[in-house]
Amino acid sequence: MKKLINQIKEALSKVFGGFLEILVDRGQIAIKVTNIVKDFIENPAVDLVVALTPNKKDDVLLARAKVLVPKILVQIGMAMAIVQKAEAESDPEVAYSVVLSYISTKLPEDGKAIFYRELSGRVAQALSDGNISTAESIGLVQLIFKKLL
């Protein structure tokens, strides 16, 4: 298994070069942000805004994520047909609340897993300033989450 992990790391290093370390850092932040959102959805007493408030070395990235997460949540909500495009455009705050409420109360566990995977990938992509695609970022975050990177 170690040999396979090393081969994966080597292959990714060839594709991304020195940028891989930056991407892994962004992926780790994306996982952290996703876990904060997940905690908030599962325990509404947690204040999402406070939880996303920067407080250490991740300050810059968390500050960016704090602005990006509501928009990304609504985008995923539209893709999953939780909210309609018109609803999201007319009042993004309401659409954001609808997405969080739906995930919390109506989405089955398999659906939540898909949602969180998509969220972490999109946050990682946004934090990498568009240097990787959504598919690449989701794959990268999954490798980090499974501790292969």
pTM value?
A: 0.72
The domain containing residue 67 runs over which residues?
2-145
77-132 per-position pLDDT tens digit: 888 888 887 777 788 888 888 888 898 889 899 888 889 988 999 888 888 877 78
How many structural domains is the chain composed of?
A: 1
Token pair, residue 105, equals: 């109360």
Token pair, residue 69, equals: 């997460």
Answer for the pair 10, 39: CB distance below 8 angstroms, yes or no.
Answer: no
